[in-house]
Amino acid sequence: MSAHESTQESTREATQESAPVSTGASRASLGHWTRVVVAIDGPAGSGKSSVSRAAARALGYEFLDTGAGYRSLAWLGLERGTDLEDPEAVVGLLDGFDYAIGTDPDDVRVRVGDVDVTAAIREPRVSGAVSSIARVPQVRVHLNDLFRSLLDAPGRPGIVAEGRDITTVVAPDAPVRILLTADEMARLARRAGELDGQSDADVARQVLERDRRDSQVVDFMTAADGVLTLDSTQLTFDETIDAVVSLIRAAID
């Protein structure tokens, strides 16, 4: 049985379960983590960010959008006029990179220095540049250290972190690991629905090119061993949230 099939099966079982709500977890299931760490990866438009945030809210957990870290560094480089194709220049940006992100799912503001970049990091110019900085190994090491310290910080009983390599590199030993997928047409339609001011064709080109470049660095299209695949193509937004919450509850109860 493939990882995909086995996961659809476990998703079905978990979704049908009507277990009482519990956000607790046994010490053993947490491994070395101080709280429940839920790792979610997937391609652009699969629903990682919105679904992870809603699942965190439903469980009383925190939420970590790791892509915001890469986007913020790209934003800084664009502001400074840095050549983002030059890895040395990109590494130079890390010196004194003063980055902060909210992990409350109801307050996910992002700051670089004194500037609130929450909206700016979603602009197409940042989406178009971010893959260039994400492929620099020193950037990944630097940001991964930061992400791990946020995952293990004192706070709510759990945290849902989403990105491209959370299940494989940042937290391969997380008690819950999910690959959230959706077929290309569904992903492009979702993204097109979000971005005003850009034609659907431009959005599609940009998303596919970003996925192509990102997948040269990390594999977020196939589930690593032990990672559950949840295909949201045929699911509504609410059904996807329910499925993720059920998978988390099933894993920690």
Interface with ligand CDP (CB under 6 A), residue from 82, 131, 167, 181: 131
Work out whether 136 is an interface residue with ligand CDP (CB under 6 A): no
Contacts with 141 (C-beta within 8 Å, 6 or more apart), sequence order: none
Burial class (CB in 10 A: 0-12, 13-18, 19+), 97: middle
Yes or no: say if 220 and 164 are a contact pair by the CB < 8 Å rule.
yes
- Distances in whole angstroms, Cα of residue 220 to Cα of each of 152, 163, 211: 23, 9, 9
Work out whether 240 is an interface residue with ligand CDP (CB under 6 A): no
C-beta neighbour count of 197 within 10 angstroms: 7
Select from 195, 164, 38, 42 the least CA-distant residue to 103: 38
Interface with ligand ADP (CB under 6 A), residue from 7, 11, 15, 46: 46
Interface with ligand CDP: number of residues (CB under 6 A) = 15
- Give min distance, CB of 80 to ligand ADP, in A: 26
Residue 164's binding partner out of ligand ADP, ligand CDP, none, with CB under 5 to 8 Å set by partner kind: ligand CDP
Window 204 to 223, contacts with ligand CDP (CB under 6 A): 210, 214
Q: Which stretch binds ligand CDP (CB under 6 A): 12-20, 83-91, 157-165, 237-245?
A: 157-165
Residue 232's binding partner out of ligand ADP, ligand CDP, none, with CB under 5 to 8 Å set by partner kind: ligand ADP
- 44 belongs to an annotated ligand binding site: yes
Work out whether 35 is an interface residue with ligand ADP (CB under 6 A): no
- Give min distance, CB of 130 to ligand ADP, in A: 12
Question: How far is residue 174's CA from residue 30's CA, in Å, rounded to a whole number?
Answer: 7
- 197 belongs to an annotated ligand binding site: no
Question: How far is residue 19's CA from residue 248's CA, in Å, rounded to a whole number?
Answer: 12
Instruction: Give the CA diameter of the chain.
Output: 54
Instruction: Compose the 69-88 pattern: x for residues touching ligand ADP by CB under 6 A, - for all others.
Output: --------------------
- 3 belongs to an annotated ligand binding site: no
Question: How far is residue 214's CA from residue 219's CA, in Å, rounded to a whole number?
Answer: 8
Contacts with ligand CDP, residue ranges (CB under 6 A): 44, 49, 66-67, 70-71, 130-131, 134, 163-166, 210, 214
